[in-house]
Amino acid sequence: MMKQVLRLGALLLIVDLLFSAPCLAQTQMGAREAYNYVQQKRKEASKLWEQDRATSGDIEKGIQILEGALIFLDKPEITNLALDDYVKPLKARWHDVFADLATAHALLNNKEESIDYLRRMYAEGSCGGDLKWTLLGKAFNNIRQEPEFKEIVEKLMAKGNNWSNSPLKTPYRENISEDEKVAGLSIFWSEVKYNFVYFDHVPELDWDQLYLTYLPKVRYTKNTLEFYHVLEEMCAKLKDSHTNVYFPKELHQTVYSHPPMWAALIEDKVIIVDVRSDSLRNKGIEPGLEIISIDGLPVRQYAEQFVAPYLSSSTKQDLDVRTYTYSLLSGPKDKAVDLELMDDKGNISKKSIPRSGYNDVKSPAPFKFKVLDSNIGYVALRSFEDETVVKSFDKSFDAIVRTDALILDVRENGGGDSGIGWNILGYLTEKTFKTSRWRGRDYLPVWRAWEGTEFVWDGEPARERKPNGKRLYAKPVVVLTSGETFSAGEDFCVVFDYMKRGKIIGEPTAGSTGQPLSFDLPGGGSARVCVKRDSYPDGREFVGIGIKPDILARPTVADVRAGKDTVLETALDYLKKVLRQ
């Protein structure tokens, strides 16, 4: 009798849910609205059984809500919406509702129903990430030993293992086997072939032919270090800064060790621009010195022969930064780099600079605020790696808002989490604003079988983001950029530019962002491939180009030697004129 009452209650609740669900014809519901509706129902249901002292009645009510959401999803008009190329999140709602129902039934010890929903979840394409809650979730303790549960978990594991490359993830050895080297090349080649989103940026590249060209090269490498250098060289042919090969950690000190000083290519000269060690300064190493040669070779020849061929870069400005700023002085930890230097008077000196052993390195903070001339605020945003940047901005906001204009400097921002930068932009407007749009390759083998179609583009249109709502800086703002402005730093600039909130001043950005897919390689190293193609909200491309500044300003050799920041001075002059108007 009790079960009949519960079933009757479930039927009435589902009917109520269906009548209360948005009507497609009346509201012209889009995929996003349907997605939000189902997510809201999932949240309502899960709250019922996640609350303290949840009763069986609470869980039953949650199940009823989810069954109503499932009926809503199965309506033909909603199913058709999910076929749209741009609504991948809606397509995944069936899977997630099945997972929720499996959880709820497991909590009630309804073993048969829970396992049935797990099977349906698996059929929707579940793998990998679902293992965490199926294997570790307390909800499944009641059915964990059931043969059917073990069977579905084994299937999930088998599906996830297709991508884990666990037998191919071999440990580091000084010289891995020839088979491992060929396997490593093959893994990298296949991940690029099926996932890389910028083949149109290298139309002259025949990726399959390149694979055949590099097979004998990797076979003939004498050790693991040389093997990874060859993979780097192959990767560089793709000309994408978010597609890279990384050496095993055991080789990091051999490859990546770098003295705490950096140079840049300025007016066709390689100029030291930053020295972060007093011990180096005491040796006479100062910004403004020109590097004439490295290890006995003219600096440009050294860079073109030993550095640039192994760097994958989306634009010339990014390649220059990676070559002359990030990688030029890198090498073995215990081997000093021999430099020939020239000062502004033409005097030449030779210095042997250790790559390691510094205990006095002073790195700039990711956030810095100060007030400049004419009450113009200056904020350096050097990283979007974590939320401390937003917290620091918010903490300084009372002082920032008292300035008459604001400079946001992302010239050294190498990226991180795009949302962190967009959070800061939320302080600069009282209107909603659009973020980047993105696309990726949607590959189905059956399309090749039917029509020879390789893939179609799938993704999401630009999303709207709400302003801060509580704190607003409404005065003039400019953003400073350079070739080091990269990844999430560029996502920040794209949105700022599209908002028409102010001018961008400086040099074109690196021209690379997106989502890399990372994977392991034999011998302890790894690689990544760019699988997400970002653009302006209106579809304009900037990857492979860079975001062009409204006011072009570049550092000069004379200004570096004089300690003058060319780009910052240009921004100050511009804002002073704006304030005088």
Q: Does residue 304 fall inside a structural domain? A: yes
Tokens of 231: 């993979």
Domain range for 338: 255-353
The predicted structure's pLDDT at residue 19: 45
Please check whether residues 464 and 575 belong to one and the same domain. yes
Answer yes or no: is 379 within a domain: yes
Q: Quickly list DSSP for 289-344.
A: PEEEEETTEEHHHHHHHHTGGG---SSHHHHHIIIIIIITT-B-TTSPEEEEEE-T
Q: What is the pLDDT of residue 6?
A: 45
pLDDT value at residue 383: 96
pLDDT category of residue 81 using cuts at 50, 70 and 90: confident
Specify whether 14 is located in the same domain as 100.
yes
Closest CA to 501 of 529, 477, 482: 477
Strand 503-506 relative to strand 477-481, pairing: parallel
pLDDT band at residue 164, thresholds of 50, 70 and 90? low
Lowest mean pLDDT among 344-353, 374-383, 443-452: 443-452
Inter-CA distances, 56 with 53, 98, 106, 108, 497, Å: 10, 19, 11, 7, 53
Lowest mean per-residue pLDDT among 10-24, 343-357, 370-384, 459-473: 10-24
DSSP, res 470 = S
Last residue of a domain, one of 294, 323, 353: 353
Q: CA-to-CA distance for 447 and 453, rounded, in angstroms? A: 5
Residue 7 sits in the same domain as residue 139: yes
pLDDT band at 135 (very low <50, low <70, confident <90, very high): low
Residues 6+ apart with CB under 8 A from 158: none
Interatomic CA distance for residues 148 and 145, integer angstroms: 9
In this structure, of 107-111, 360-364, 396-400, 453-457, the range with the lowest mean pLDDT score is 453-457
317 has pLDDT over 80: yes
Residues 43 and 73 in one domain: yes
pLDDT of residue 1: 43
User: What is the SS3 string spanning 474-523?
Assistant: CCCEEEEECCCCCCHHHHHHHHHHHHCCCEEEECCCCCCCCCEEEEECCC
Average pLDDT over residues 231-250: 98
CATH of the domain at 453: 3.90.226.10
* Cβ 476 vs Cβ 578: under 8 Å: yes
What are the Cα distances from residue 356, in Å, to 230, 286, 328?
26, 18, 15
What band does 136 get if pLDDT is binned at 50, 70 and 90? low
Query: Is the predicted pLDDT of residue 7 greater than 60, yes or no?
Result: no
Average pLDDT score over residue span 72-87: 76
What pLDDT, on a 0 to 100 scale, did the predictor assign at position 448?
A: 84
Task: Kindly state the percentage of the chain with pLDDT values over 70.
Answer: 90
pLDDT of residue 159: 63
Predicted confidence at residue 18, as pLDDT, reads 47
Residues 329 and 428 in one domain: no
Residue 526 pLDDT > 70 = yes
297, β-bridge pairs? 294
For residue 318, is it within any domain?
A: yes
Residues 128 and 6 in one domain: yes
- Region 527-545: what's the mean pLDDT? 96
Q: How far apart are CA 458 and CA 437, in angstroms?
A: 11
Residue 267 has pLDDT above 50, yes or no: yes
In the prediction, which pLDDT does 22 show?
54
pLDDT in tens, 475-507: 999 999 999 999 999 999 999 999 999 999 999
- With a CB cutoff of 8 Å and minimum separation 6, the contacts of 170 are 176, 180, 522, 523, 524
Amino acid identity for residue 86 in this structure? Y
pLDDT-derived band at 141 (thresholds 50, 70, 90) equals confident
Higher model confidence: residue 244 or residue 155? 244
Q: Say which CATH number the domain at 265 has.
A: 2.30.42.10
Is the distance from CB of 216 to CB of 230 less than 8 angstroms? no
Q: For residue 219, is it within any domain?
A: no
Asked whether residue 283 is assigned to any structural domain, the reply reads: yes
Task: Give the model's pLDDT for residue 301.
Answer: 98
How far are the Cα atoms of 11, 67, 70, 143, 188 from residue 111, in angstroms, in the given order?
22, 17, 20, 6, 43
Dihedral sign (CA 212, 213, 214, 216): positive
Q: Is the pLDDT of residue 85 over 90?
A: no
Tokens in use for 188? 């990298």
Give the three-state DSSP class for 286: coil
Query: What local confidence, expressed as pLDDT, does residue 449 receive?
Result: 86
How confident is the model over 264-274, as a mean pLDDT? 98
Same domain for 300 and 385, yes or no, is: no
Domain endpoint, select from 330, 353, 376:
353
- CATH number of the domain residue 73 falls in: 1.25.40
In this structure, is residue 403 part of a structural domain? Answer: yes
Whether residue 376 sits in one domain with residue 318: no
| Whether residues 349 and 384 fall in one domain | no
**Inside any domain, residue 236:** no
> What's the pLDDT score for residue 129?
54
Whether the predicted pLDDT of 170 surpasses 50: yes
Q: Is 323 a domain residue?
A: yes
- Output the average pLDDT for the chain: 90
SS (H, E, C) 170-231: CCCCCCCCHHHHHHHHHHHHHHHHHHCCCHHHCCCCCHHHHHHHHHHHHHCCCCHHHHHHHH
Domain boundary among 162, 193, 215: 162
| pLDDT band (50, 70, 90) for residue 118 | confident
pLDDT digits (tens, 9 = 90+) for 428-458: 999 999 999 999 998 888 888 887 777 888 8
335 and 434, same domain (yes or no): no
Please give the average per-residue pLDDT across 91-95, as a whole number: 82
Domain count, the chain: 3
Asked whether residue 451 falls in the same domain as residue 524, the answer is yes
For residue 164, give the 3-state DSSP assignment.
Answer: helix
Instruction: Write down the pTM of the prediction.
Output: 0.82
Give me the pLDDT at residue 95, please: 83
Q: What per-residue confidence (pLDDT) applies to 29?
A: 61
pLDDT at 27: 44
| 349/372 same-domain check | no
pLDDT score at 134: 56
